[in-house]
Chain A
Amino acid sequence: DGGITQSPKYLFRKEGQNVTLSCEQNLNHDAMYWYRQDPGQGLRLIYYSQIVNDFQKGDIAEGYSVSREKKESFPLTVTSAQKNPTAFYLCASSLARTDTQYFGPGTRLTVL
C-alpha cells in the first residue's frame, strides 16, 4: 500500500534529551513537511523540504532540526532546546510544492 508512515505512535522522553521522529513515504512525492498540533489548535509548520538535501524553516522551527538525505524519508529531531515539546507531530507530503498534501498518522510526544 502507498502512504505515509510515522513511528513511533507514542513517544516519551525525559527533559533534556533529544528525540528523533521518523517519517517515511512511498508515494514518490518530492515535498515533505512537519507540523505540530497542540490541543484545540490548528497545525503549525515546523520545517519543509521541496527536494532531497534541501529544507526550509517553517513558522516554529526553533528547537527542531531535520534532514532530507533520501526522497522517501524526512526525520525530525526535537532537541532539548525546544521549550514545550509535548505535542502531536504530523508529517505530510505532496507531489510538488503547490500540490495537495497528504498526512501521516502522527506521533504523540510526551516529555516527562
Chain B
Amino acid sequence: GQQLNQSPQSMFIQEGEDVSMNCTSSSIFNTWLWYKQEPGEGPVLLIALYKAGELTSNGRLTAQFGITRKDSFLNISASIPSDVGIYFCAGLTGTSYGKLTFGQGTILTVHP
C-alpha cells in the first residue's frame, strides 16, 4: 500500500535543541495526524490537523498542514530526554474510508 515519505529516518540530538521532521506525499490528504510511539507501547496522538495551512501547537510541539495538502511538518522545541521515541505521521484522504496512510517513522534520540 501507499506510504508517506517521512524524513529524517532518525535523529540524534542534544537536550535543549529544536527538532524538525516532515512528511510528503504525491497525494492530497484531508487530515494529517502526528503520533509518538514509545518502545512496547501503542502510538499516542500528539496533534491532529484538519485544514490546509493550519498551524497547531501542543506544548513544545507545533505541527503544520501544508498549503498544498501534500505535506506536513512537526517541530519540537527545547527537546528533553522524555521526547525519545518514534514519531509517525499519518494521513487520511476523503475517500480512504478511515484507512490511515503512515510514514515510516522518525526515531528520535535525545542525549542529556
Contacts and interface: CB of A to CB of B under 8 A. Distances in A.
Interface of A: 4, 6, 31, 33, 41-45, 48, 50, 56, 58-59, 88, 90, 94, 96-106, 108
B112 interface: no
B34 to A, nearest CB: 11
- For the residues of B in contact with A, the DSSP-based class is loop
Interface string B66-77: 000000000000
B43 to A, nearest CB: 5
A106 B41 contact: yes
B1 A104 contact: no
- For the residues of A in contact with B, the DSSP-based class is strand
Given A50-B98, A106-B42, A108-B40, A43 B1 contact: no
Nearest to B1: A59
A42 to B, nearest CB: 4
Given A42-B3, A45-B1, A98-B92, A103 B98 contact: no
B99 interface: yes
A42 B104 contact: yes
